[in-house]
Amino acid sequence: MPMLTDQFGRKITYLRVSVTDRCNLRCRYCMPAAGVPPKRHEDLLTFEEIAAVVAAGASFGITKVRLTGGEPLLRRGAVDLVRLLAAVPGVADLALTTNGLLLARHAAELKAAGLMRVNVSLDTLRADRFAAMTGSDDWRGVMAGIDAALAAGFAPVKLNVVAIRGYNDDEVADFVRFARDKGLHLRFIEFMPVGNSFWEPGKVIPTKEVRALAERAAALVPAQNGNAGDVAELCQMPGSAATVGFISPLSAKFCRRCNRLRLTADGFLKPCLACKNEIDIKVPVRRGLRGDELKRVFFEAMRLKPRAHSMEEGAAESPRCMAEVGG
């Protein structure tokens, strides 16, 4: 099997697939105040086209696929897409990242369709702050989604928290206790520039500081079974199945072990979240190319994958915001 290896020797085994640019939240740090121009339905990859790209990637060594958005559960028939991708030979890990609002109604059928893991993005445990940041008053809907994912048997259920100074820095310890009580795998993510005017360097809380805040709630020890491609610094809480991870795109860049590509909802392979390079794979797929015939597109993405991003300088090169690319 030919492996996807970039010019810096990194083996690419992970494909993040954005299935829609639409979202039912307006998180101030993610979505521009004016929103993003909606794409026409015909501009988006069909489920069959997504499956064709995933199958080609799997034939080159992609083993892990994650569905993202916008909000992926807004795409009608998302469960059908999961069923298609779960049947792709070589895909050993199929996961989904969601804001949780629609998860309660879909969790059981997603599990039955072959989804293995769920990440829920939630940045506050306070309903008033949730409404102020997201424009939605349905904080309880996210809580119900987390409970539904646990009840459906997803293992693990991860909770992604973007740590933002002046917004949720006083909730870090609360999140650790919440994760411990629920048995969740918690991940704190440094606030990074993603094409939005809400970004300010002063809002960044470096991982070292976040960890000190987390340790007010529980002792943390280095995890013994971390994944080599994991971008998080993983810790365990003695006596609990829950873990706490710290993702540091600014203070401790993990680019040297980056193992991922991104597929945008409108059919472009993106070698790095923060870079401007995108390679059109929709046109060749719609011309009927499949499998090995798509090798050139994947290898072009490898050629353009940078050694490292430059987000620590305060801006992302990508002309698209996070909501358009998929996190």
CA dist list (Å): 262 to 18, 67, 116: 8, 10, 19
Q: Is the peptide bond before 70 cis (omega within 30 degrees of 0)?
A: yes
Establish if 58 belongs to a structural domain.
yes
Sign of torsion, CA 123 129 133 134? positive
Taking Cα atoms as reference points, which of 84, 113, 92, 111 lies closest to residue 14?
A: 92
Q: In this structure, what is the dihedral angle of CA atoms 46, 52, 55, 56, given to the nearest 10 degrees?
A: -130
Establish if 279 belongs to a structural domain.
yes
Task: Extract long-range pairs of 230-238: CB within 8 Å, 24+ residues apart.
Answer: 231/257, 231/258, 232/187, 233/207, 235/211, 237/176, 237/180
Establish if 275 belongs to a structural domain.
yes
Establish if 2 belongs to a structural domain.
no
Laid out side by side, the sheet with 279-280 consists of 221-222, 232-236, 243-247, 185-190, 157-163, 117-121, 93-98, 64-68, 14-18, 260-263, 268-270, 279-280
Q: Which residues, including other chains, have CB under 8 Å from residue 262's CB and lie 6 or more apart?
A: 15, 16, 17, 18, 269, 270, 271, 273, 325, 326
CATH number assigned to the domain comprising residue 95: 3.20.20.70
Residue 129 host element (H or E): helix 127-134
Establish if 7 belongs to a structural domain.
no
> Tokens 């369709």 appear where?
113
Burial string for 63-99 (b: 16+ CB within 10 Å, else e) reads ebbbbbbbbbbbbeebbebbbbbeebeebeebbbbbb
**pLDDT tens across the length of the chain (327 residues):** 678 999 999 999 999 999 999 999 999 888 776 777 888 989 999 999 999 999 999 999 999 999 999 999 999 999 999 999 999 999 999 999 999 999 999 999 999 999 999 999 999 999 999 999 999 999 999 999 999 999 999 999 999 999 999 999 999 999 999 999 999 999 999 998 876 778 899 999 999 999 999 999 999 999 876 665 678 899 999 889 899 999 998 888 888 889 999 999 999 999 988 888 899 999 999 999 999 999 999 999 999 999 987 775 555 556 576 667 776
What is the token pair recorded at 271?
Answer: 């070698």
Residue 169 to residue 30: CA distance in whole angstroms: 18
Q: Domain range for residue 312?
A: 14-325
Residue 161 to residue 21: CA distance in whole angstroms: 21
Q: Is the peptide bond before 206 cis (omega within 30 degrees of 0)?
A: no
What is the token pair recorded at 114?
Answer: 């072959």
Residue 291 to residue 55: CA distance in whole angstroms: 7
CA dist list (Å): 158 to 48, 88, 211, 245: 28, 24, 17, 10
Domain count of the fold of the chain: 1
Establish if 8 belongs to a structural domain.
no
> Tokens 């987000």 appear where?
311
Half-sphere exposure of 168 (CA within 13 A, CB side): 28
Please, what is the end-to-end C-alpha distance for the chain in angstroms?
29
Establish if 6 belongs to a structural domain.
no
pLDDT of 58 reads 97
